[in-house]
Amino acid sequence: MDQLLEVTNLSTQFKTEEKIAFAVRQVNLSIKPGETIGIVGESGSGKSVTARSIMRIVENQGGQITSGEILLEGDDLVKKTEKQMRNIRGNMISMIFQDPMTSLNPLIKVGEQIAEVLRYHKNYSKQQARAETIRIMQDMSIPSAEKRYGQYPHEFSGGMLQRLMIAIALACKPKLLIADEPTTALDVTIQAQILRLMKQLQTQYNMSILLITHDLGVVAQVCDRVSVMYAGEIVESADVATLFEEPLHPYTWGLIESIPRLGQRKGSLQPIQGAPPKLTEEMIGCSFAKRCPYKSTRCEQQKPVLERLRPAHAVACHHADELVKRKGDPGWKNYSRLSN
């Protein structure tokens, strides 16, 4: 099978007291076996809701998938019952959440939280689950794994807690790992260790990774392809090198130019002017039009479609062909800086 995961025209919404919030709008993405895909965008762009929709846990948070398909090895997860999804989550597809301290049960020993996954999905005995859990903890480079099996979450550092979350997610060797901002609360040294560990385990377990992040530097280090989200929509998608060397969407340019650089003068950062649209509003034209310095009347009246302009590069912009010719504009030749 060419694609492990195929998401087609996915839309997710939330009902508020007054209106409906359209958090994800007609999202399309795919992941091949063994591939790492990044989804980037500012807070509120729909990255995490997309991930939770794929996991089918968005319904537990008041959300509703209103359209689309989520095909995992050709099997549509949207049509699965909650009972069927419980057998898929943690077994074929797993997720690492942003804050491990709130994701782990503070009253249960960490080893037992990992062993629980094995006993549920693999029908291991208590002794088998304990032995396999200790081996998994060793794979995560957790020292004195047998001793630390019996400790509680508060006895671990932030980096070790994240390793435990990875251990729980990978206990059953899933085919797809969704990592939602897995390094956000960690310092740069620990962040690098976690990213290296994830890549090592990806090779060891032969799995695919969907990485949700706002950090373009992380994307440049670990991803094969990347999709840029804005206001619930994917506005650009390409392989990593192409995206950083020749971004085609003005929003992507803005994201790249907003990254601090070594030796940059104070006040020289290039912020994206304005604010994202409200997700409760109907969007007639381009969702980025109000903030775009290159907008035209067409942008305000007609919504652009995500179109493939090159073999591995798609963009939703009416003026992408014109803008790519502006070699002096922001957003060019930043990939080497980010990847070093």
Per-residue pLDDT at 338 exceeds 70:
no
DSSP class of 22 = E
Mean pLDDT of 36-48: 93
| pLDDT value for 331 | 44
| CATH value at residue 224 | 3.40.50.300
Q: Is 30 contained in some domain?
A: yes
* Residue 332 pLDDT class (50, 70, 90 cuts): very low
Per-residue pLDDT at 329 exceeds 70:
no
How many CA atoms, within 13 angstroms, populate the side-chain half-sphere of residue 237? 20
How many CA atoms, within 13 angstroms, populate the side-chain half-sphere of residue 340? 7
- As a whole number of angstroms, the distance between CA 251 and CA 197 comes to 31
Mean pLDDT of 187-212: 89
Per-residue pLDDT at 302 exceeds 60:
yes
Q: Parallel, antiparallel, or unpaired: how do β-strands 233-239 and 225-230 relate?
A: antiparallel
- Per the structure, the complete domain to which residue 83 belongs is given by 1-101+173-261
Per-residue model confidence as pLDDT tens digits over 43-99: 889 999 999 999 999 999 899 999 999 999 999 999 999 999 999 999 999 999 877
Q: Work out the mean pLDDT of the chain and round it to a whole number.
A: 88
Q: Is 330 contained in some domain?
A: no
From residue 39, alpha-carbon distances to 163, 227, 301, 306, 322 in Å are 22, 5, 27, 15, 25
Q: Is 198 contained in some domain?
A: yes
| pLDDT value for 266 | 66
Q: Is 119 contained in some domain?
A: no
Give the sheet arrangement for strand 5-15, strand by strand: 20-31, 5-15, 63-72, 75-76
Q: 31 or 99: whose pLDDT is higher?
A: 31
Task: Supply 338's token pair.
Answer: 């980010």
Per-residue pLDDT at 320 exceeds 70:
yes
Query: What contacts 225, CB < 8 A, 6 or more positions away?
Result: 35, 36, 37, 38, 237, 238, 239, 240, 312
Per-residue model confidence as pLDDT tens digits over 135-193: 999 988 899 999 999 999 999 998 899 899 999 999 999 999 999 988 877 788 888 88
Per-residue pLDDT at 340 exceeds 50:
no
Q: Is 166 contained in some domain?
A: no
DSSP class of 291 = G
Q: In the beta sheet, which residues pair with residue 20?
A: 15
Q: Is 9 contained in some domain?
A: yes
Per-residue pLDDT at 214 exceeds 50:
yes
Q: Which of 149-153, 246-250, 335-339 has the lowest mean pLDDT?
A: 335-339
| pLDDT value for 325 | 65
Q: How many domains does the chain have?
A: 1
| pLDDT value for 245 | 87
Per-residue model confidence as pLDDT tens digits over 250-265: 999 888 887 777 666 6
- In sign, the C-alpha dihedral spanning 243, 249, 254, 257 is positive
Q: Is 67 contained in some domain?
A: yes
Q: Parallel, antiparallel, or unpaired: how do β-strands 176-180 and 93-96 relate?
A: parallel
Q: Is 309 contained in some domain?
A: no
